[in-house]
Amino acid sequence: MSIQENISRIFSPELLGQVKEFIDSHNCFVVTTHMSPDGDAVGSTVAMCRYLRSKGKQATLVFNDRPGYNLSFIKGIDDCLVFERNNQEPEKCQHDAAVNAISEAEAIVCLDYNALYRLGDLADEIRKSQAPRLLIDHHLDPVVEEFSVVVSEPSLSAACEVEYRLILELGDDNLVTREIAEPLYCGMMTDTGQFVFNSERKDVYLIVARLLETGFAKEELHRQFALELERRVRLKGYCLYHKMVIIPEHQAAFISLSKPELKRFNHQKGDSEGFVNAPLDIKGIKVVAFFREEKNFIKVSLRSKGDYPVNIIAEKFFNGGGHKNASGGEFQGSLQKAEQLFVKALPLFDKYL
């Protein structure tokens, strides 16, 4: 019996029929994901474009904004159009091409987000389009009325896992070549913290085994993922020594970075990725928040151990969501107010310690 025959089937025949009809009845696709794309967003969209092309379709990947340098190890990341205007290098601006691609699309595939607002400025352009939308996601509470077909599985590790399972159950596993398997693996690897979070199910490793059969260099991917630039290492040291706040009575910690601090260290997109995980290595710490001041909001990342549900904190206090142990959101207000809100929420969750 093959590996894929051991992977449980989770989609209803009715849903599979809807997805098949969606793909078969259109030829020109745009593939999208949320603003500030992470590894799962990049991996799932790159893989989806290649999957659609393997079926003879035209597929264009459109990002609201360019992924951070830390994801450059994912091959195919540059095979995209970026909607955000490039004011510093206007000759490289892809905004108009992205708008044209969306206006000409017959169908739109939406990966790794549960509501259109998570597209940032790109959302308005997507809303203008009359093209039907297929959602493939793993976040809680999808806004189903914004999509024509909804494939949402919050119990799964990553959008890339949802996508592979969908391909498998559609009968297209034979199309999963190295070029599709590698970005799918990257998405699963990054969204689980290299298989630390949300990855206890047997099926996760059966899927990994199947993807590895295609022959991509897993160890080299992990090495590339671990490489860091000097400015990132210095910023991390600054965060841990000067900015980390421990709240022992709630087994919690948080780190925050203001815009002046980010400027001081020449912060580029991706530089602070994963910093939220560092305090979890401290004995006795079970929940961590990381706050980063953006132009118009505070970016919030949350991590935890065991049964501590940071997805509830993200949903109730920071307009977000995610997995039980790995979630995120946004806060409209000052950095100080975001910190105070987190500290104020902690006593409500002491029962999980």
Cα 162 from Cα 138, distance rounded (Å): 7
Cα 132 from Cα 26, distance rounded (Å): 10
pLDDT category, 90, cuts 50, 70, 90?
low
Q: Which two tokens stand for residue 245?
A: 């706040």
> Tens digits of per-residue pLDDT, 332-344?
999 999 999 999 9
Does pLDDT of 320 surpass 90? Answer: no
How confident is the model over 142-146, as a mean pLDDT? 96
3-state secondary structure 253-285: EEEEECHHHHHHCCCCCCCCCCHHHHHHHCCCC
Helix (H), strand (E) at residue 247: strand 245-247
DSSP state of 319: S
| From 90-99, 171-180, 185-194, 274-283, the region with the lowest mean pLDDT | 90-99
pLDDT category, 53, cuts 50, 70, 90?
very high
Does pLDDT of 119 surpass 90? Answer: yes
How confident is the model over 34-45, as a mean pLDDT? 95
Cross-strand pairs, 33: 111
Does pLDDT of 321 surpass 70? Answer: yes
In this predicted structure, what is the pLDDT of residue 87?
64
Q: Are strands 252-257 and 298-304 parallel, antiparallel or unpaired?
A: unpaired
> Tens digits of per-residue pLDDT, 278-314?
999 999 999 999 999 998 899 999 999 999 999 999 9
pTM of the model: 0.87
How confident is the model over 60-80, as a mean pLDDT? 92
> Tens digits of per-residue pLDDT, 188-218?
999 998 998 889 999 999 999 999 999 999 9
In this predicted structure, what is the pLDDT of residue 150?
98
In this predicted structure, what is the pLDDT of residue 3?
82
Q: Which two tokens stand for residue 23?
A: 């793909």
Does pLDDT of 251 surpass 90? Answer: yes
Helix (H), strand (E) at residue 117: none
In this predicted structure, what is the pLDDT of residue 85?
85
Q: How many CB atoms within 10 Å of residue 25?
A: 10
